[in-house]
A and B are shown apart, each in its own frame.
With several copies, the nearest count.
Chain A
Amino acid sequence: MNSTVSVLLFGITRDLTGQSALSIPIQTETRVGDLLDQVRQQYPALAGVRSLLVAVNGEYAEVDQTLTSKDEIALIPPVSGG
């Protein structure tokens, strides 16, 4: 079963892509690591970012976590709050 997830963008990732969310096709059993590979392939501009983490439903996710189309997914570039 193929579907599409929306990936929220913030900070530099939004500026580099010119978008505030990306539509990324995922297959069943797509993992966080696979999503990151796909995002980097589709948006080579993101290579300049020092590190990219993924949040799933508002929590930092490990690379082997499996994604579903119901998840709220976000790319987290290096934070600079405080």
Chain B
Amino acid sequence: MIALTTDPIDVASALKYLQSSQAGAIDLFLGVVRDNTQDRPVDRLEYEAYDRMAISEMQKIADEAHQRWSILRYTIIHRKGTLLTGEIAVLIGITTAHRADAFEACRYIIDTIKQTVPIWKKEIFTDGEVWVNAHP
């Protein structure tokens, strides 16, 4: 299950979705909005997506993970819109029979999301704003 949503990410329903009768391991990764900046405290973050492509790229990543590891159920939920520090920006959940598959698939998915999925994050300060990663 893949979703891109402006609503807060609901960990409890994700966990419910991840249940499987053959489950031996569930790895759940939460990416949390962090204040990256040293001196200037961040007021909020704005996440923007090229929705159609973000979803299809996440689907490709999930398909590739399915090829590589033995996955019983998975969910990838990415938030967009305005987020405050401490909020969950992304949830990745992987259910497998054996734990190595869960850890490896989960890590592959988050690492690849950060490289290929068209989602952009802007840090907003009281006195300005910066698109993360955009400048050299």
The reply to whether A and B meet directly (CB within 8 Å) is yes
- Mask: chain A, 65-82; 1 = CB below 8 Å from B; 0 = not: 000000000101111111
Interface of B is mostly: mixed
CB distance from A49 to the nearest CB of B (A): 6
Bound Cα distance from A8 to B48, whole angstroms = 13
Q: Which of A8, A48, A78 contacts B50 (CB 8 A)?
A: A8
How many A-B residue pairs lie within 8 Å, measured between CB atoms?
82
Contact B120 A49 (CB under 8 A): no
Bound Cα distance from A78 to B113, whole angstroms = 12
Contact B134 A55 (CB under 8 A): no
Contact B90 A79 (CB under 8 A): no
Interface size classification for chain A: 20 to 34
22 contacts between A and B (CB under 8 A): A8-B50, A10-B48, A10-B49, A12-B131, A12-B135, A50-B134, A55-B50, A58-B52, A74-B118, A77-B131, A79-B133, A80-B131, A80-B133, A80-B134, A81-B49, A81-B89, A81-B90, A81-B113, A81-B114, A81-B121, A82-B110, A82-B119
